[in-house]
Amino acid sequence: MTARTGPRPARSRAKEPKMLSKLLRPDIETLLASRELGAIKEVLSEWTPADIAELLADLPEHERAVIFRLLPRDLAADVFEYMGLDLQVSLLKGMGNEESAAILNEMSPDDRTALLEDLPGSAARQLIALLSPEERKTAVALLGYPEDSVGRLMTPDFVDLRPGWSMSEVLEHIRRFGKDMETLNVLYVVDDKGRLIDDIRIRDVLLAPPETRVSDLMDENFVALHVADDQESAVEAFKKYDRVALPVVDASGSLIGIVTVDDVFDVAEEEATEDIHKFAAVEALDEPYSSIPLFSMVRKRAFWLTILFVSQALTAIAMGFFEGQLSKAVILSIFIPLVISSGGNSGSQAATLVIRALAVGDVALSDWWFIMRREVVSGLMLGGALGAIGFLQVLALSRFIVELQAHVVLIGLTVAFSLVLIVSWGTLSGSMLPILLKRLGADPATSSAPLVATMVDVTGLVIYFSVAILLLTGTLL
């Protein structure tokens, strides 16, 4: 993954596949038309929160509010968490302060943080003011952590244990306090000062005899996230250790929260989306494509398009430098698109492979020499193959273009050798540019395919005409 440098995209909360609501939506619409609200409430009680959220997203705003008010408070809060930001804001605007407060207080702290941090400051403050004193304290504490830190992802709802407790005491503790916890798959052992000393799985608790102590199950081998770590570190930790939840500790080692895998999936999706945008030479979008204002999207696309357009002026300069050779052998211009596009394509391929390898941890900066050797050999092999095909193309075209026939072999060799050099250079530069950018502390995804292609276009022209001068001087030139 690459470090985010721009604003945080709105977090997607679609956590389940779109199935049930699509099948049963006609029934709901029929009941709505006849205003059979009791029947609707009974039907929706059998739906999952994700399916209800999907249904509400597809309904007109006035009907959406009617159905949402039919839901019991607990279910309404769960449904609200699965909605996108725009839909959440729309519903909050249509509800009174009392209704909004009920929903916000019932929300999971991590999902509530995701909502509040996506809102303008004034709107977020208004919603925080609606919270109960305890929930307000939690919300302010979570929002106080740095943006894109693990602290913004975590929830303080977890079950902690003491080493001396028996399994009977543990189960009684879970029955008493576990109802509103984020997850019960993993339980966390803390000392008298609240410092994390181990984690144990609920499976081990359920299978252990009642008299077994928590300390008997401990191996003091656990993984924890630090509250100030970048969210990318959480993604990597979940990938490495294959967990559904990880504890979060502060500088003193005290357990202050947990991060669950569903929130990490959201971060991973945001990171992948941002990298894809950058690699297409687009600034990362702050909002989903369907809702971002047109002007904002044009502005983010125009920046890189302008840079690439200005960079292409170097191509014109290069062609102007070889104007004399072009005037003597206009036939050479036929093969310019063929030659330089091959270099740009090979460079884009190499850049894509290396950027992805860096993102998933397949290679590191220290592997630059291995990457360079591998790409030089790849470039020569690919260039040799394309060079042979290019030579055959020149021979084939000579049957239709009279100007080629007098020097067909020399022109064919010019194209062939140029392709070998240009493809090799494109592959080498495309693979090394992400390494260089990461070494300088920049995002490797910035070395987008269009940028690499533009850079190789310019150098490709120089290589092509240099080879032409070397092989054709005294004959065609």
Q: What is the mean pLDDT of each run of 10 residues along the chain (477 residues)?
A: 43 43 60 76 84 84 82 87 84 84 88 85 87 90 88 89 93 88 88 92 92 91 91 87 90 91 83 74 68 77 74 68 67 84 87 84 89 93 94 88 81 93 93 88 71 81 88 78
Check if the beta carbon of residue 354 is closer than 8 Å to that of residue 449. no
pLDDT of residue 370: 94
CA dist 354 and 445 (Å) reads 10
pLDDT of residue 15: 41
CA dist 428 and 378 (Å) reads 9
pLDDT of residue 271: 79
The amino acid occupying position 407 is H
* Token pair listed for 453: 């292609």
pLDDT of residue 220: 82
- For the chain, how far is it from start to end, CA to CA, in angstroms? 51
- Tokens 């971060």 map to which residue? 267
Sign of the torsion formed by the C-alpha atoms of 312, 315, 321 and 323: negative
Please enumerate in sequence order all residues whose Cβ is within 8 A of that of 258, keeping only pairs 6 or more positions apart, or say none.
Answer: 154, 155, 157, 158, 182, 183, 186, 188, 245, 246, 247, 248
pLDDT of residue 18: 44
- What global pTM score does this model have? 0.63
Per-residue CA distances from 183 to 83, 177, 239, 348 (Å): 21, 12, 19, 44
pLDDT of residue 23: 47
Identify the helix (H) or strand (E) that includes residue 173.
Answer: helix 167-177
Q: How many CB atoms neighbour CB 268 within 10 A?
A: 19
Please enumerate in sequence order all residues whose Cβ is within 8 A of that of 91, keeping only pairs 6 or more positions apart, or say none.
Answer: 64, 65, 68, 80, 83
CA dist 231 and 336 (Å) reads 46
Measured torsion, CA atoms of residues 376, 377, 379, 382, in degrees rounded to the nearest 10? 180
pLDDT of residue 171: 93
Please enumerate in sequence order all residues whose Cβ is within 8 A of that of 4, keeping only pairs 6 or more positions apart, or say none.
Answer: 148, 270, 271, 274, 284
The answer for 459, left when phi > 0, alpha when psi is -120 to 50, beta otherwise, is alpha
Indicate the DSSP class of residue 166: B
